[in-house]
Structure 1
Amino acid sequence: MIKSKADLNYYLEQDRLALGIKPTLKNKLTHDIWHFQIALRKLEYRKNTGKSVFSKIYAVWLQLKVRKLGRKLGFSIPANVFGPGLSIAHAGTIVINKKCKIGANCRIHVCVNIGGGLSKKGNAPMIGNDCYIGPGAKIYGDITLDDNTAIGANAVVNKSFDGNVTLGGIPAKVISDKGPLDILKKPRTEL
């Protein structure tokens, strides 16, 4: 969670590295996903640290900006869900429940839905560090997915799994005992 200006700068840098973007003026002006992520991180910072009236007003303005950019790109991603190193692969529908907690170095693709279950508690998934979420994946319920978990395209995950695995199918099951780090051989960004 972003609680200081140093945290904000760290999150922004890790997101930039995860997206594989060079910090050029052209990218700052034209990369829509990076614009969204910058606005999201600034919103998180203001929501978590803003005490003054000005900070609260600025947070409302940032919330409107995040919502506008999100509608343009197809994202419904609330503040304070993702750790540093978020990499949104493409514009397209991504819907995340505000109660979710997803660790550092998450790569997420289009048509992903991560939501709460049907219970009265309405708890949402907790996903660890170094996760990969493939296109069309659906993850829901009061579940936990540990570090280094890959979720294959169109998988439906409705129960908890230990880490260092790849999940696939409907309903999801372990299809490999290797996670994203085993395939990449190194993390995309530093923790």
Structure 2
Amino acid sequence: MNQKFLCDFYRMTGKKFKRNIKSYLNIMFQHNVRYMYWWRKRNKKFIGKIARVFLFKYSKKYGLEIGNAKIEEGFYLGHPYNITINEESILGKNINIHKGATIGKENRGKKLGAPKIGNNVYIGVNSTVVGKIEIGNDVLIAPNTYVNFNVPSHSIVIGSPGVIIPNEKATEGYVNFCV
């Protein structure tokens, strides 16, 4: 099984994947785990075609639009409905993303491009991160926050327009089961 998916599984369930019925039932019945299982297989030779059929179905059902973005291990889909991630985005390890969040591309201006997001980042409900910007490590983006500017590591971003609040343990208690 794909090592990145095993890390995703651990982050979303809090349990190591074991080749037993309980672990396979988690894949079958938790739609966030099931989606990431097929998403990680989408570029494989034979199984990739099957994976893309399932991804299309789940994308329509749950409103998940995650293109071919570069997503490292430990990806956590919390309340996975209506999440959009641009295919040019780069996401580090241990990213939490929640319902209604958008990681998008800016199509004009100085920030033309998609975001690069560091490790141990929490992206809250209905938050938007857009443009060719960099989000540092250990950053908490609060719910309903609009971010179109660089964010340094160890920060909390809140509001619209976003305000940066330095905090050495910004994601403590929010990003759990790190890999």
TM-score, length-scaled by structure 2: 0.86
Which structure: greater helix fraction?
1
For structure 2, which runs of at least 5 residues remain unmatched after alignment?
none
Aligned residues: 172
Question: Following TM superposition, by how much is the alpha carbon of 1:127 offset from its aligned partner in structure 2, in angstroms?
Answer: 0.3
Rounded Cα–Cα distance in structure 1 between residues aligned with 2:119 and 2:4: 14
Match of 2:161 among 171, 175, 178: 171
2:91 matched residue in structure 1? 102
Q: Can you list the C-alpha shifts for 1:57-106, whole angstroms capped at 9, x where unaligned?
A: 64333223212112111100113431100110113110111100010100
Identity %: 23
Judging changes above 3 Å, is the alpha-carbon distance between structure 1 residues 67 and 131 closer, same or farther for their aligned structure 2 residues? same
Residue 149 of structure 1: how far off its partner (Å): 0.8
Deviation at 1:21, TM superposition (A): 5.1
Q: Which one of 101, 104, 113 corresponds to residue 112 of structure 1?
A: 101
Change in Cα spacing, 1:165 to 1:65, as seen in structure 2 (3 Å) is same
Segments of 4+ in structure 1 off by > 3 A?
Answer: 178-181, 184-187
For 1:173 and 1:103, locate their aligned partners in 2 and report how far apart those are by CA, in whole Å: 23
Contact 1:122 1:142 in 2 (8 A): yes
Distance 2:144 2:103 in 1: 12
Whole-Å separation in 1 of the counterparts to 2:159 and 2:69: 29
Partners of 2:61 and 2:120 lie apart in 1 by: 27
Q: CA deviation at 1:43?
A: 1.2
Question: Pairwise mapping of residues 115-126 of structure 1 onto structure 2 (< 5 A)?
Answer: 115-119=104-108, 122-126=112-116
Partner of 2:10: 17
Unaligned runs of 5+ in 1: 1-7, 47-54
Q: Name which of structure 1's ranges 12-21 and 149-158 shifts more when overlaid on structure 2.
A: 12-21
**RMSD across aligned positions (CA):** 2.2
